[in-house]
Amino acid sequence: MTAADIRAWCAMNGCNYQTVTNKLTEYKVGRGKWNLEVTKETVEELETTYNGPAALPAVEQNLIPDKDDTFVQFGNFTDIKKIIKSGLFYPTFVTGLSGNGKTFSIEQACAQLGRELIRVNITVETDEDDLIGGFRLVNGETVWHNGPVIEALQRGAVLLLDEIDLASNKILCLQSVLEGKGVFLKKIGKFVAPTDGFQVFATANTKGKGSEDGRFIGTNVLNEAFLERFPVTFEQEYPTTAIEQRILNKICKDEEFCKRLADWADIIRKTFYDGGIEEIISTRRLVHIVKAYSIFNDKAKAIQVCVNRFDDETKQAFLELYDKVDADFVMPVDETPTL
Ligand SMILES: Nc1ncnc2c1ncn2[C@@H]1O[C@H](COP(=O)(O)OP(=O)(O)OP(=O)(O)O)[C@@H](O)[C@H]1O
Ligand SMILES: [Mg+2]
């Protein structure tokens, strides 16, 4: 490159010739001559930067989830497992009310099949940089950092976009990935194709159309073209009483208590669907109750501390319903002093 080339470049970019040439002293090969050729070493350096995520080298991490022996199969689990096992790329949407095992089933399906899982919790702030990747400052240098989507594409892992309905339109950067076509990393000029086994699951409390009753604050209406890229949707229901009892029994040995809790949740859910109550008891909450029971060894207290999060009216309705399923239950006395 000659002085004339540099002057022309400076004129185009509004830079000072002296400043630019001062920065290029390292590449000066003669009077008015610079060698700015992209050498093999430079390319290798860029490749290393691209391949080296800022944290632990990816290959050394084991992303297969651990099997959890408290897990009980039910509902869509077998189908979810079949999809993963098929090896076909088949984006799957799982929708259902909170705490009924959507995330847990996908995690356990991967654990049982020995497949790697990368779970990304989506929020309204999630953007291309979080998903695809971006430049990070490491030891004073800017290096490219693969996002979880690229990591999953390259490893042929299962990608779980958890709580997708909280996302903004920024997730549209995943359109090509959802078509099974990989993605072009425009910032570093590199195309990443999906490796065999790559799979996408998305979970949500809604169907991506928002939440009219306001129960799921923060959920957004998702772009129709985005939703169209999911060929199948599973509607996850709460487990049956028999299954729910088995789930609770894995944690709590008091069979009688587990049965009553499962019956209680069933009545609450029926009342909820009939419009008689505004809140619901999830499987997750039942698990919280049996865990509280193992701590306090007091059933009434375990139920009470776990339903305290609801408003007074709902709380009272829940306790009264429990009283109906358990004859031995003594309704907790309200300790708030009356004036
Ligand atoms: N099949 C199951 N076997 C055992 N426990 C379960 C099962 N399903 C749900 N649970 C219990 O319920 C909890 C909540 O499950 P999970 O996190 O999968 O719910 P979710 O449907 O993803 O809820 P959210 O919509 O709030 O994310 C689990 O941590 C576990 O304690
Ligand atoms: Mg979940």
Q: What DSSP assignment string belongs to 193-207?
A: PPPTT-EEEEEESS-
**What is the side-by-side order of every strand in the sheet holding 92-95?**
117-121, 158-162, 199-204, 92-95, 232-235
How far is ligand 2, taken at its centre, from the CA of residue 102, in Å? 6
Query: Looking at ligand 1, which residue's alpha carbon is closest to its atom 28?
Result: 284
How far is ligand 2, taken at its centre, from the CA of residue 13, in Å? 50
104 lines ligand 1 (CB under 6 A): yes
How far is ligand 1, taken at its centre, from the CA of residue 102, in Å? 6
Judge residue 295's burial from the number of C-beta atoms within 10 Å of its C-beta, 0-12 exposed, 13-18 middle, 19 or more buried: exposed
Residue 131's SS3 state is helix
List the chain pLDDT tens, one digit each, 339 residues: 888 888 888 887 778 888 888 888 888 888 888 888 777 666 666 566 556 544 444 556 789 999 999 999 999 999 999 999 999 999 999 999 999 999 999 999 999 999 999 999 999 999 999 999 999 998 888 999 999 999 999 999 999 999 999 999 999 999 999 999 999 999 999 999 999 999 999 999 998 888 777 778 888 889 899 999 999 999 999 999 999 999 999 999 999 999 999 999 999 999 999 988 989 999 999 999 999 999 999 999 999 999 999 999 999 999 999 998 888 887 776 655 555
Return d(Cα 130, Cα 121) in angstroms, integer: 10
How far is ligand 1, taken at its centre, from the CA of residue 282, in Å? 9
What is the position in ligand 1's atom list of the atom closest to the CA of 77? 1
Return d(Cα 70, Cα 233) in angstroms, integer: 26
The neighbourhood of ligand 2, an ion, using CB within 5 A, equals 103
Query: Looking at ligand 1, which residue's alpha carbon is closest to its atom 12?
Result: 284
Return d(Cα 56, Cα 72) in angstroms, integer: 33
Write down the pLDDT at residue 37.
78
75 lines ligand 1 (CB under 6 A): no
Return d(Cα 155, Cα 192) in angstroms, integer: 11
201 lines ligand 1 (CB under 6 A): no
Ligand nearest to the CA of 281: 1
Other Cβ atoms closer than 10 A to 307: 20
Query: Looking at ligand 1, which residue's alpha carbon is closest to its atom 11?
Result: 284
106 lines ligand 1 (CB under 6 A): no
- What CATH topology corresponds to 58-235? Rossmann fold (3.40.50)
Mutate to test the pocket of ligand 1, among 110, 283, 294, 309 (most ligand atoms within 8 A of CB): 283
How far is ligand 1, taken at its centre, from the CA of residue 114, in Å? 20
249 lines ligand 1 (CB under 6 A): no
Return d(Cα 176, Cα 153) in angstroms, integer: 12
Other Cβ atoms closer than 10 A to 164: 29
> Alpha-carbon torsion 308, 69, 77, 117, what sign?
positive
How far is ligand 2, taken at its centre, from the CA of residue 97, in Å? 9
What is the position in ligand 1's atom list of the atom closest to the CA of 97? 25
Write down the pLDDT at residue 335.
59
164 lines ligand 1 (CB under 6 A): no
238 lines ligand 1 (CB under 6 A): no
How far is ligand 2, taken at its centre, from the CA of residue 163, in Å? 7
